[in-house]
Structure 1
């Protein structure tokens, strides 16, 4: 380690694997925070690119870096948590960005609300080219019902997790009480942890969006959709079981049963009829974000890749055109079509 954390109030925990493309942007956004009483613990999880060189290019004494063999996200996070002795821990992903006022705002919130265990915020989605969509936020508007904040409950976790992992500032004592992330969850380990915390403590979600979450075709979220669905559903099942029985299988020392999901990438399957495969991997949420963010380079790429496999399908063309035309224009077109039929 380059530096030992002394008298800091917050540790920002950032695991990274092969993050050279966006790591500078993430680190720069952290070092630009108006709240400065923090250190940044970066765990280089066996990167094979220039990640370590990028980390070492910074001379800020608040940065601590650890190099290790690849352990995976949850184990890396737990290792980081075991090293932290500051009162608060802030998560931050290695390809995302925070507004300069974000950390100060969160620390002030927890300082003023000692009965709250953790606080997260909303995020805007951005593309691999750092183009931000102002239309796509998580969690969505309706969950707040016009309020400045809500406290996360089980009902808020469907259909999507309301807690954006990279936005969480949590009391270190709470992380330690729950022994961090359960590594049995190969993905969605954060969903599992937030559900466990919310069943005992207040977990605030603030109705502001100071965090920019990057989507790209090669991200874990995009590439492991089936496994993510499996483990997210499992986290929900375990939460319901804790409500009914007071514990879940892992708490009782049992193992996760047969994992029935498609391992590996959600790749297209080869079929004989060319042009007849709907390109769901390309015409996904990422495509809608790219259109809204006006990332024309990415939009062009996704359209070309979609047409390679699905050019003969009407739904492919609808999937391409509808986000471009916009919801209001589509409604007008449908209304006009219905009038013409009369």
Structure 2
């Protein structure tokens, strides 16, 4: 296979898309996949009990590379895990049902994997578009300037926030299995389940980063991230044990700093929503552990 007269390997990708009530966006998401310049892939859509017209929108798209599996609603983590389990190929790219890829996303990933196959995760930068249409780009302090191995994931996490998203990663199933990282996503974590997964993987494995915004994250009102009331119980509880699992002192330092920063943000959200008792509880926990 060649693209722009450049030979690329015959790698095959499985693209996994969890789908829950994305009738307005899933068509454009799938279009961004089906129009990839690199064409060796299958698409596995896990319809997670959608109650809108999402499933019909998908069924109206005719492409032999599409596979649709419907299940009762069980959450995005279980949907992603199911898709990864059913993937025909070792290289699994994830994409949310309201995000998009730039045309060369899979091509750029394939070029890297041609020469480097020892990483658990291959990821790119991304850009976000808010509801007003303003564009912002993922930060890349302490990340490779062009592309390369991620040196200290936790340092980059602290200074930049999330290094990548669930729509900008390609997984190496073999490496994940060998490091006991399957199933990847925790079904008991309702908020930040992807960050939980990336952090656990980073504790044991090599990561690779392409410093290009190859993914478009578009804010949507219907997204599950938009909640009227902030539920602290669902947020960052997993860091309690993650912080102690870091054997490297430098890694532990930056992970704990990141947890501290995130809990300050949680307190601010709780205060805005007048959940004063819970905000005080979080603050006391923070002061005791600092």
* TM-score, reference length from structure 2: 0.74
Summarize the Cα distance change of 1:171–1:143 in structure 2 as closer, same or farther, 3 Å threshold.
Answer: same
| Equivalent residue number for residue 333 of structure 1 | none
**Correspondences of 1:313-332 after superposition (within 5 Å):** none
CA distance in 1, matches of 2:101, 2:94: 11
Partner of residue 190, structure 1: 194
Q: Does 1:155 align with 2:158?
A: no
Question: Which one of 75, 86, 90 corresponds to residue 89 of structure 2?
Answer: 86
Segments ≥4 residues shifted beyond 4 Å: 229-232, 265-270
Q: Partner residue of 1:25?
A: 28
Partner of 1:241: 244
Are positions 1:137 and 2:137 aligned together? yes
**Distance apart, 1:105 and its partner CA:** 0.7
Q: Distance in 2 between matches of 1:9 and 1:89?
A: 9
- The alignment's TM-score, normalised by the length of structure 1, stands at 0.64
Cα distance in 2 for residues equivalent to 1:194 and 1:100: 25
Aligned residue number for residue 166 of structure 1: 167
Task: Give the Cα separation in 1 of the matches to 2:271 and 2:45.
Answer: 32
Offset of residue 34 of structure 1: 0.9
- Pair 1:38-2:36 in alignment: no
The answer to whether the Cα contact below 8 Å between 1:110 and 1:118 also exists between their aligned partners in 2 is no
**1:120 matched residue in structure 2:** 123
Quickly say closer, same or farther: Cα 1:268–1:196, change in 2 above 3 A. Answer: closer
8 Å CA contact 1:85, 1:172 repeated in 2: no
- 2-side partners of 1:168 and 1:224: how far apart? 29
| Residue 77 of structure 1 pairs with residue 80 of structure 2 | yes
Tell me the distance in 2 between the aligned counterparts of 1:132 and 1:74.
29
Following superposition, the deviation at residue 148 of structure 1 comes to 3.7
Q: Which residue of 214, 223, 226 maps to 2:218? A: 214
User: RMSD between aligned alpha carbons?
Assistant: 2.8
d(CA) in 1 for partners of 2:137, 2:242: 25
How many angstroms does 1:243 deviate by?
A: 1.9
Which of these two proteins has the greater Rg computed from alpha carbons? Answer: 1
Pair 1:53 & 2:53 matched: no
Q: 1:268, CA displacement in angstroms? A: 7.5
Kindly state the Cα deviation for residue 20 of structure 1 after the two structures are TM-superposed.
0.5
Q: Does the aligned pair in 2 maintain the 1:124–1:132 contact within 8 Å?
A: no
Query: How much does 1:236 deviate?
Result: 3.6
- When structure 1 is superposed on structure 2, of 230-239 and 74-83 the one drifting more is 230-239
Structure number with greater CO (CA < 8 Å, separation at least 6) is: 2
Conserved? CA contact 1:191–1:235, under 8 Å = no
Report Cα offsets for 1:103-137 as digits up to 9, x if no partner.
Answer: 111122122112222111111112458x461xx11
By how many angstroms is 1:14 displaced? 0.2
Question: What does residue 69 of structure 2 align with?
Answer: 66
Kindly tell me the number of residue pairs found equivalent between the two proteins: 241
What is residue 257 of structure 2 aligned with on the other side?
none
Q: How far apart, CA to CA, are the structure 2 residues paired with 1:266 and 1:46?
A: 31
